[in-house]
Each structure stands twice: as structure tokens, then as C-alpha cells.
């Protein structure tokens, strides 16, 4: 991909909340993924936000082998 790869963004607003997926961003490296995520998804008062390259998410159930529901 010309501008980098897809990073998934996880965040939470309170300590008792779990980290939840809030969106994604395309960036050329991890630092820019974090910088972009922080500036683009800054509407809520997050106490924690993390980004991870989509390719680093380990498939447990893979879309390619999942049967569509009838």
C-alpha cells in the first residue's frame, strides 16, 4: 500500500472498561500510526489508546475458512 499499512486502534475511557476497537488508520510506520490515531480519534477523553498493525493480529477464526450464516 502506497501510504503504509493498516493499524487497528483500541482505546478506553475508564479504568474499569476493557480496551475496545474504535477504528483504524493507514500509516507508514508504528510511530506515525500512533501519532495519527491520537490526533484523528481525539473526540473522546481516552485514558488509554493503543495501535497494532492488522497483520500482527493472530487469526483464531479466519474469515477465509468461515462459512457464512445461512
Partner 1 sequence: MSQREFQNPTELDERTRQAVYDLFLVLADTKHLLGLRYGEWLGAPAIEASIASVAMAQDEFGHARLFYGLLGDFHQAGVPEREEKPEEYRNFEGLDRAWESWLDFIAANVLVDGALSVQIEALRGSSYVPVRRMVAKIVQEERFHQQHARGWLLRVAREGAKPKAELEKALKRIWEPVLLWLGRPGSEHERALVSAGIQDTDGEGLRTRLIERLGPLLVEEAGLDLPLSNDAITGQWVLGTALSWEGFDDAFRRRSRTGPDPETFRQIESFLGHAYPVGS
Nearer to partner 1, 4 or 12 (CB): 4
Cβ-based nearer residue to partner 1, 43 or 62: 43
Kindly tell me which of 12 and 41 has the beta carbon lying closer to partner 1: 41
How far CA 8 is from CA of 53, 55, 60, in Å, comes to 6, 10, 17
Binding interface with partner 1 (CB under 8 A): 3, 25-36, 38-40, 42
Residue 1 in contact with residue 32, Cβ under 8 Å? Answer: no
Least distance in angstroms from the C-beta of 57 to partner 1: 21
Amino acid at each position: 500500500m502506497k501510504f503504509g499499512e493498516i493499524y487497528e486502534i483500541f482505546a478506553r475511557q475508564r479504568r474499569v472498561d476493557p480496551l475496545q476497537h474504535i477504528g483504524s488508520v493507514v500509516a507508514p510506520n508504528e510511530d506515525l500510526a500512533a501519532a495519527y490515531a491520537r490526533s484523528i480519534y481525539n473526540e473522546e477523553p481516552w485514558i488509554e489508546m493503543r495501535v497494532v498493525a492488522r497483520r500482527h493480529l493472530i487469526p483464531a477464526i479466519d474469515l477465509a475458512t468461515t462459512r457464512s450464516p445461512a
